[in-house]
Amino acid sequence: MKPTLLILAAGMGSRYGGLKQVDPLGPGGEAIIDYSIFDAIRAGFGKVVFVIRKSFAEAFKQSLDKKLKGKIETAYVYQELDSFVPASMAVSPARQKPWGTGHAVLVAKNVVHEPFVVINADDFYGPKSYKILFDYLMGPDKGAENHYSMVGYGLENTLSEFGSVSRGVCQTNQMGFLKTVVEHTHIERVGGNIINKPDENNIMELTGKEIVSMNIWGFQPNYFEYLETYFTRFVKENATNPKAEFYIPFVVNDLIKKELIKLKVLQTPDQWFGITYKEDRENAVARIEQLIHEGVYPSSLW
Question: pTM surpassing 0.85?
Answer: yes
The model's confidence at residue 21, banded by pLDDT at 50, 70 and 90, is low
Per-residue pLDDT of 53-86, as tens digits, reads: 988 888 888 878 889 999 999 999 999 888 888 8
**pLDDT tier at 90, thresholds 50, 70, 90:** confident
Could you tell me which residue, 144 or 24, shows the higher pLDDT?
Answer: 24
pLDDT value at 20 more than 60: no
Task: Please report the sign of the dihedral spanned by the C-alpha atoms of residue 103, residue 124, residue 69, residue 19.
Answer: positive
Residues 6+ apart with CB under 8 A from 35: 26, 124, 288, 297, 301
Tell which wins on pLDDT, 68 or 96. Answer: 68
Q: How confident is the model at residue 220 (pLDDT cuts 50, 70, 90)?
A: very high
pLDDT tens figures, 35-51 = 999 999 999 999 999 99
d(CA 26, CA 56): 22
Q: Does position 13 have pLDDT exceeding 50, yes or no?
A: no
Task: Please determine, for residue 14, whether its predicted confidence score (pLDDT) is greater than 50.
Answer: no
Q: What is the pLDDT of residues 172-216, one digit of tens each?
A: 999 999 999 888 888 998 888 899 877 767 788 899 989 999 999
What's the mean pLDDT in 4-32?
A: 75
Tens of pLDDT, residues 238-290: 988 988 999 998 999 999 999 999 999 998 889 899 887 888 889 999 999 99
Split at pLDDT 50, 70, 90, the class of 153 is: very high
